[in-house]
Structure 1
Amino acid sequence: MSQIGKTQAPQRSVNLRPLPAIIFSSRWLQLPLYLGLIVAQGIYVVQFLKELWHLVLHVTTFSEQQIMLVVLGLIDVVMISNLLMMVIVGGYETFVSRLRLQNHPDQPEWLDHVNASVLKIKLAMAIIGISSIHLLRTFIEAGNIGSGEESSYTMTGVILQTVIHTVFILSAIGIAYIDRLSHHTVEKSA
């Protein structure tokens, strides 16, 4: 958005015909969804504090590997919380209504240029980060794999998680590539 657009006063509401007005107003049906995600984020805060307290209580009895697994769990909760914030703030700003945070000292930098395309790429990158944490956790726990049928199932799980993680990466690359192609097409037609 240009500086001129940021400093202008909000425009008056435009009178729409009834059907377009209903369709346009239906975007507010997403508000309960975003409020529900805020509640879910509160649940993740409780989960984080519970896991942190568990770590503090067992700091002298846990092995280094157990501490690492709990810390990876804490990082996972933080990354999921970051993903929730991107969806809540970015989704609301993109699909429901402007937040009008201009000149607010705490406004996230990425919010200045958020749109559906940017949001998709950011979400894909966050999902890859979360998947990476889960995969790292699985690799650490894979060191404890014993022998027998259970071991085979666990190795299959490790392989499947690796394949899924790879698919996430390829999907993010595909989304970014398509976004880049669409921007080049728009620039050439302008």
Structure 2
Amino acid sequence: MKPIVNGLESFIFWSRWLQAPLYVGLVVAQGVYVYQFFLELVHLLHDAARPNEVKIMLTVLGMIDVVMISNLLIMVVVGGYETFVSRLEIAKSHRDRPDWLAHVDAGVLKVKLSMALIGISSVHLLKSFIGASSETNYQALMWQVIIHCVFLISAVAMAFTDRLISAKPVAKPGH
């Protein structure tokens, strides 16, 4: 029975490699965001000839949004691969190795991702406020604010829970 159990456990452990193509797909999605960023840059340069501060600001916010989503993708790809698939063979002394990679785990990754989502949500909300006009659907705007607040509350709850789980027990004096 032991060889069967060992084989099953090896197979289950090997199954983590099924996630690798998913991370490759996210890298391809990042390429799409690079393309989107350059489209936004072209729009910005085109609109610079006709000064319209609101339009320029919305284009720049769109570019910031693309960059933040791209950063989110990097965190998911690098952090997820490192945490759930295999250690990255990057020397700790490598000058380009991100500092956060040294202490990444599922809890840290969740908190970082939730903070990135809040940043992305903030940019979307700011774009909605700036682009608001008399024809704006204020009910949709209200829902954006509510969803943003839910992101904030969820991030605080995840960070608090992660802190509770990872807290080391305090030794009692005399023990």
Q: Same fold (TM over 0.5)?
A: yes
* Displacement over 6 Å in runs of 4+: none
Stretches of structure 2 lacking an aligned partner (at least 5 in a row): none
Which SS does the other structure have where 1:61 is aligned? coil
Distance 2:47 2:169 in 1: 61
Distance 2:93 2:169 in 1: 33
Which SS does the other structure have where 1:17 is aligned? helix
Q: Which amino acid aligns with 2:95?
A: P
Stretches of structure 1 lacking an aligned partner (at least 5 in a row): 1-15
Distance 1:171 1:130 in 2: 15
Q: Deviations over 1:148-173 (max 9, x none)?
A: xxx4xx10011000000000000000
Distance 1:175 1:31 in 2: 26
Provide the aligned length of Structure 1 versus Structure 2.
Answer: 166
Q: Deviations over 1:52-106 (max 9, x none)?
A: 0111122121410000000000000000000000000000000000002122110
How far residue 178 of structure 1 moved from its aligned partner, in angstroms, is: 0.7
Distance 1:189 1:35 in 2: 43
Give the aligned partner of residue 123 of structure 2: 133
- Supply the RMSD in Å over aligned alpha carbons: 1.4
Q: 1:188 aligns with which of 152, 162, 169?
A: 169
Which SS does the other structure have where 2:169 is aligned? helix
Aligned pair 1:165/2:155, yes or no? no
Q: 1:176 aligns with which of 156, 159, 163?
A: 159
Distance 1:62 1:99 in 2: 47
Give the aligned partner of residue 18 of structure 2: 29
Distance 2:124 2:51 in 1: 20
TM-score (norm 2): 0.91
TM-score (norm 1): 0.84
Distance 1:145 1:96 in 2: 50
Q: Which amino acid aligns with 2:169?
A: K
How far residue 189 of structure 1 moved from its aligned partner, in angstroms, is: 8.2
Aligned pair 1:100/2:100, yes or no? no
The share of aligned pairs that are identical, in percent, is 56
Distance 2:47 2:164 in 1: 52
Give the aligned partner of residue 57 of structure 2: 68
Q: Which amino acid aligns with 1:34?
A: Y
Q: Which amino acid aligns with 2:162?
A: D
How far residue 145 of structure 1 moved from its aligned partner, in angstroms, is: 2.1
